[in-house]
Amino acid sequence: MPAVSVVICSYSEERWEMLMGALESVRAQTLTPKQTIVVVDYNMELYKRLIFTVPDAVIVENTGPKGLSGARNTGAGVANAEIVAFLDDDAEAEPAWLERLAALYDDQDVLAVGGRVEPLWAAGRPGHFAEELDWIVGCTYRGVPKVAAEVRNVIGANMSFRADVLNRVGGFNTSLGRQDAIPLGCEETELCIRAVLGAPGSRVVYEPAALVHHHVPAERGTLRYMLSRSWSEGISKAQVSRVVGHKRALGPERRYVRQILPRAVFAGVRGWIRGEEPAGLGRAATIIAVLAATAIGYVRGRRLPLAPAPVKASQVSPDELWREVQ
């Protein structure tokens, strides 16, 4: 097995207990990491608390631009192993997580390996929240491969890269990605596309057996959050398309919109009509609303200058989104 450095990025003391859970899950790995690195994103109190509380990890401050991309680049710069794995501070890895990721790097053409992310709902999955929409909460959604397969990009909460790949492509694009609670993203998508473009014949692999569990608070299951996050996703995808091209940025999304979502809508309506799923109609309506919000965000993002200041999706209300649709 190649040596692996694990990077966890954190920005808020409010997530302390979950961060401790993430660290404990790394300690329990069947493949012991060479390093565990915690990057603190411009929060001195959190940094001091970690220094005095977690002696078995490398604690560093983000030396790049504020935000998740800058923090990840800082962690990758500190890592000294062949493989750099990233775990969210509100996620917990299964014991064989690192072993499953590392095993696929015996193929030299593999540049990155990502795993499955399952949601841990704080208040249970809402009836209107279809599994096809789990990407909204940073998790693996229904429609991705069920076995190990080549994919366009990995998911941020559970991903790994060869260290030399991160060095070659210059790391994550700091104009993309989450900043504090602003749910922009797609920085891992853009990086994976650039990495493969720079190494013809190489590939990114998804290994569902490399499993992590992602905590999802109740407020992220509300329609308001779903629409705001979808709006942000549309803007993020538009920014990525400006960097790597429309076709590369939206290839898998076309299949998702044409095949996965229609099946989910029809299944919800059918279940409601038959009386088998009382929440089926609401689930179908939510899928349509999310698709509309994402499309509107994409159109808006295409009109923005490249690498704009983050758009605060939390300020966009469902009423405002529907007015733009109409």
* pLDDT for residue 127: 94
Residue 279 resides in a domain:
yes
Is the domain of 199 the same as that of 251? no
How far are the Cα atoms of 83, 114, 142, 143, 253 from residue 256, in angstroms, in the given order?
31, 19, 10, 7, 5
* pLDDT for residue 237: 83
The string of DSSP letters for 206-221 reads EEEEEEEEEEE-GGGG
Residue 139 resides in a domain:
yes
* pLDDT for residue 310: 37
- CA-closest candidate to residue 37, choices 57, 61, 10: 57
Is the domain of 190 the same as that of 250? no
Is the domain of 126 the same as that of 272? no
Last residue of a domain, one of 154, 187, 221: 221
Is the domain of 253 the same as that of 129? no
Alpha-carbon distance of 112 to 202, in angstroms, equals: 9
Residue 265 resides in a domain:
yes
Is the domain of 163 the same as that of 117? yes
- CA-closest candidate to residue 103, choices 212, 208, 211, 2: 2
* pLDDT for residue 121: 97
Residue 319 resides in a domain:
yes
Is the domain of 265 the same as that of 148? no
* Full pLDDT tens readout for the chain, 326 residues: 899 999 999 999 999 999 999 999 999 999 999 999 999 999 999 999 999 999 999 999 999 999 899 999 999 999 999 999 999 999 999 999 999 999 999 999 999 999 999 999 999 999 999 999 999 999 999 989 999 999 999 999 999 999 999 999 999 887 765 665 555 667 888 899 889 888 888 999 999 999 999 999 999 999 999 999 999 888 888 877 766 665 555 667 788 888 899 999 999 999 999 998 999 999 999 999 999 999 998 888 777 665 543 333 333 343 443 344 33
Secondary element (H or E) of residue 115: strand 110-121
Alpha-carbon distance of 244 to 35, in angstroms, equals: 33
- CA-closest candidate to residue 5, choices 41, 38, 51: 38
Residue 233 resides in a domain:
no
Residues 6 or more apart whose Cβ sits within 8 Å of residue 326: none
Helix (H, G, I), strand (E, B) or coil at 123: coil
Residue 145 resides in a domain:
yes
| CATH (domain of 174) | 3.90.550.10
Is the domain of 265 the same as that of 158? no
* pLDDT for residue 112: 97
- Residue 239 φ then ψ, to 5°: -65, -40
Domain around 16:
4-221
Is the domain of 71 the same as that of 161? yes
* pLDDT for residue 92: 98
* pLDDT for residue 323: 45
Last residue of a domain, one of 172, 206, 221: 221
Is the domain of 162 the same as that of 13? yes
Is the domain of 89 the same as that of 156? yes
The one-letter code for the residue type at 257 is V
Q: Which structure tokens are listed for 114? A: 């990502």
Residue 238 resides in a domain:
no
- CA-closest candidate to residue 36, choices 53, 15, 13, 60: 60
* pLDDT for residue 322: 39
- Residue 80 φ then ψ, to 5°: -125, 20
Is the domain of 38 the same as that of 115? yes
Last residue of a domain, one of 186, 221, 256: 221
Residues 6 or more apart whose Cβ sits within 8 Å of residue 82: 2, 3, 4, 105, 162, 163
Residue 240 resides in a domain:
no
**Structural domains of the chain, count:** 2
Is the domain of 14 the same as that of 155? yes
